[in-house]
Amino acid sequence: MMTDRTALQLAGRHIIITGASSGIGRASALAAANKGATVLLLARRDDELQVVVEEIRAAGGKAFGYRCDITEPDAVETTVRLILEEHGHVDMLVNNAGRSIRRSVYRSTERLHDFERTMAVNYFGAVRMVLALLPHMRERKFGHIVNVSSAGVQFSAPRYAAYLASKAALDKFSDVAAAETLADKITFTTIHMPLVDTPMIAPTGKQNVTQAASPEWAAATVVRALIERPKRIDVPAATLAEYGALIAPKLKDAVMHRVYRRFPESAAAKGEPVNGEQATEPDGRAQSNGKPRSQAALKRASKVAQRLGRLVPGAQW
């Protein structure tokens, strides 16, 4: 049985990280290995995954890569069984693998598969990993699961209905599971991550209001979640937005509608190449073309919200 003090350290821990071939997953793998953890990395793209493994090993860390598509039940079952056979146990899981789609509800009326695809990875894939490891963690009376969610869940950011719904579902699953597994010393951390500069946002990154954080910053947040194991980690502005929506829900809708109108559908969402033309909604309404003045005003408002957010408790629980 590990003492409380050693349980807060990463040295010697066996940590599974999904979506580890790039972005937040890759940066988190490097950071956790640097803290002495043995990182067990999962991704669909085996070639890129092995590059990360070799990079960690070259720096003196311990890393092992497993090609696995978490949307496939047999693949997850086989991979988890293999990991347990080869490494004996798993201490922690980082559910990082994700799929993002930025598309308005109007443009999704004939695209139910957008919702199915995001749920397949962000919710069902993550839950599949948790369920595969729970019996093992329960037997050992120790386990910690970090779910990389989104600050957009708290903002209810426009054009991300499919993505945010899948993340919100995982948030609620984790809340229920955390209550049920508490006696077995299995804990959960939900990170409501802000926008991060990763390949996932490449098609729509320029359409976002906020400036993207670096993968290294995100990785430091994941490592903090693994070491300190808080219930959740939020950015202050998102916490403020969540509280504000409870107090003034109609005002929140009005503000988000303004954001929706100011920042048009991306060419990727419309299935078109970038051509500089003004975007329109399916009902024919012309949208704002997101001129620099509008973007600057919203960015200034975002900075004010961040400053106010620092006055709000609960950025890390």
Distance CA 188, CA 179 (A): 10
DSSP class of 274: -
State the sign of the Cα–Cα–Cα–Cα dihedral 240, 265, 200, 69. positive
First-residue to last-residue Cα distance in the chain: 26
66, 160, 163, 260: the catalytic one is 163
Residue 35 in tokens: 């803290």
Distance CA 207, CA 205 (A): 5
SS3 313: coil
Q: 61: phi > 0 → left, psi -120 to 50 → alpha, else beta; which?
A: beta
Q: How far is CA 230 from the centre of its chain?
A: 16
DSSP class of 196: B
Percent of residues in the chain assigned helix, strand, coil, to nearest 5:
55, 15, 30
Distance CA 185, CA 176 (A): 14
Are the C-beta atoms of residues 235 and 129 closer than 8 Å to each other?
A: no
Distance CA 112, CA 227 (A): 39
Confirm whether 163 is a catalytic residue.
Answer: yes
Residues annotated as catalytic are: 163
